[in-house]
Amino acid sequence: MPYIIECITLESLCLFEYFIVSHTQHNNQYKKRIYCLALKATLRCHMLAHRHRLAAYHGHIVAKILAHSVLQLLRYVSYSHSCRQGMVVAGYWPMAGEVDVRPLLRRFSLLGWQTALPVVVSKQPLIFRIWKNNFLLEDGRHNTLNPRSGTQQVVPDVILVPLLAFDPAGFRLGFGAGYYDRTLADLRRRRRGKVVAIGIAFADQEIPRVPRHRYDVTLDLIWRG
């Protein structure tokens, strides 16, 4: 019963967000922004707990399924890139119930790709450093782990993006700091769109509509397991 109640609450929040955005005067962007932030904060509490439950029950098997999906992901990437040796795929070090992408990164490495992890630098777009399975890591911001300072910095061709929730339009809900929104906007501008952003999620993290504002960016593909 608690799970059903939570789902109803999430759907109600999404419908409420749609109502607010549709009925607020167009020139009142500040009020829209406040409503959006409040809805996102509420959703994060629900979806973070939900993701922890999904990871506890399905995390190990979903990570294996994801790793075996490497060729499927490569086929998608090939539609927008001429795949070549040495291309860079950036993942993340999993935390707080995120789907573990490290087995997938190892598969990419075996196929000749360079693998990287993100590094948080203040409120700037993320930077990415080369990572291999035997590399030592250091503590980063927000309880993350990242390759040590001095490790080669790279620009990714593909970014695997963690998320708390996603919707059919490709919008995602993250922790709220805006790092991936800034990073994807920056890379798409500098590389004229030639970067592929793939959201990685459990299937049950999908919701009808993620609250969004003008600075929120969409993903190119969402892999769900």
Domain boundaries, the chain: 2-224
- pLDDT of 192 higher than 80: no
Poorest-pLDDT segment among 19-23, 117-121, 122-126: 19-23
Q: So what's the pLDDT on residue 39?
A: 84
Written as six digits, the tokens of 211 are: 């609250």
More confident residue, 46 or 19: 46
Q: What pLDDT score was predicted for residue 194?
A: 82
Q: How far apart are CA 157 and CA 107, in angstroms?
A: 16
- Look-up: residue for tokens 């955005």? 21
**Which pLDDT tens digit goes with each residue over 83-111?**
676 799 999 999 999 999 999 999 999 99
Q: What is the pLDDT of residue 7?
A: 40
Which residues, 6+ apart, have CB-to-CB distance to 108 below 8 Å?
70, 89, 115
Q: How far apart are CA 58 and CA 39, in angstroms?
A: 27
Q: Which fold is adopted by the domain 2-224?
A: Rossmann fold (3.40.50)
Q: Would you say residue 24 has pLDDT above 60?
A: no
**Mean pLDDT, the chain, whole residue set:** 85
Task: Give the pLDDT confidence score for residue 139 in this predicted structure.
Answer: 83
Q: Which residue has the higher pLDDT, 164 or 146?
A: 164
Backbone torsion region of residue 122, taken as left when φ is above 0, otherwise alpha when ψ lies between -120 and 50, otherwise beta: left
* Residues contacting 154, CB < 8 A, separation 6+: 88, 90, 114, 116, 128, 129, 130
pTM, to two decimals: 0.85
Query: pLDDT value at position 16?
Result: 54
Tell me, what's the pLDDT at 8?
38
The length of the chain is 225
